[in-house]
Amino acid sequence: MRALVTGVAGFVGSNLARALLDQGHDVVGIDSLTDYYELRIKELNLAGIPSERFTLVRGDLNEVDLDQLLTGVDWVFHQAGQPGVRMSWGRDFAIYERLNISATQRLLEAAKNSSSLRRLVYASSSSIYGDAESFPTRETDRPQPLSPYGVTKLAGEHLCSLYAANFGVPTVSLRYFTVYGPGQRPDMAFTRFVRAAVLGETIQIFGDGKQIRDFTYIDDIVAANVLAASSDVPPGSVFNVAGGSNVSVNETLDILTGLAGHPLNVDHVDVVAGDVRRTGGAIDKITGAIGWRPQVAIEEGLARHLAWGERTFGRSR
């Protein structure tokens, strides 16, 4: 297969590209290399992708010739977008609107004209649920985002459903629940935690730490994408991709303390607008449809994340 991975320099995109190449597929990756976080990290992600059978296009989905980009492509994995709940308020919302909504609509317009496309997998988010009405949250539960970021991810998901219903574009939307693992973005909680554990820095926790999250390991996210692309499911399908951890932030700190072998320095600060109190996804639908279920438990995943942190941050001491 020939796959297009948008946002290929990012955490999920780069891991997905490597996995596809390992499986013998050809990969075209596109990324505009925005400066939401250090470009050096994205460049290291790209450097870790084998060059054989991989083609990199540096460009913005709102500007490049997408018809040409999709020529001969069987699978599209749409990972690109502006991340982050806390930065999506105020004037910065225009960035989220452009990179999360407009870019997705433009990609879907090109997809509807493609003669080779078999599947377009869209990276949605558990942020679309906000403070959900029930747990574990099912795909049929009412979405009620608490942040502008969540609104833009839901809009992209609705666009996928619309293009599937009206033009038969073979979309699948995957609602990721808090992805973590080696190489996670530096602004995300677990990378901040392991960096602080390695360097003896203070860990900043927003709120009381009793927030419950459903953490999902990166390898499980990658596996869900590949299964969604290669399985026979109706266009417009929507699935939760949840790791099943359902632990509080404080509990993850306890696990990390045991793994690190020393106490952690923790400082609690005010809650940030848009952060939800709890997430937890039901996976009956995705398991039944494509056979996916998480393989990496939170304890093992955190151990791997910490080992990566020791290699990465330990060098700077």
Catalytic residues: 149
Q: How far is Cα 12 from Cα 174, in angstroms, rounded to an integer?
A: 13
What's the sign of the alpha-carbon dihedral 134, 140, 143, 149? positive
Which residues contact residue 134 at a Cβ distance below 8 angstroms, ignoring those fewer than 6 apart?
141
Are residues 72 and 7 in contact, defined by beta-carbon separation less than 8 angstroms? no
Q: Output the six-digit token pair for 28.
A: 């075209």
Instruction: Evaluate whether 75 touches 121 at the Cβ level (below 8 Å).
Output: yes
Reading the block at residue 46, the tokens are 């790209």
User: What is the chain's Cα-based Rg?
Assistant: 19
- 216-217/179-180 β-pairing: parallel
Q: Are 65 and 44 in contact (CB under 8 A)?
A: no
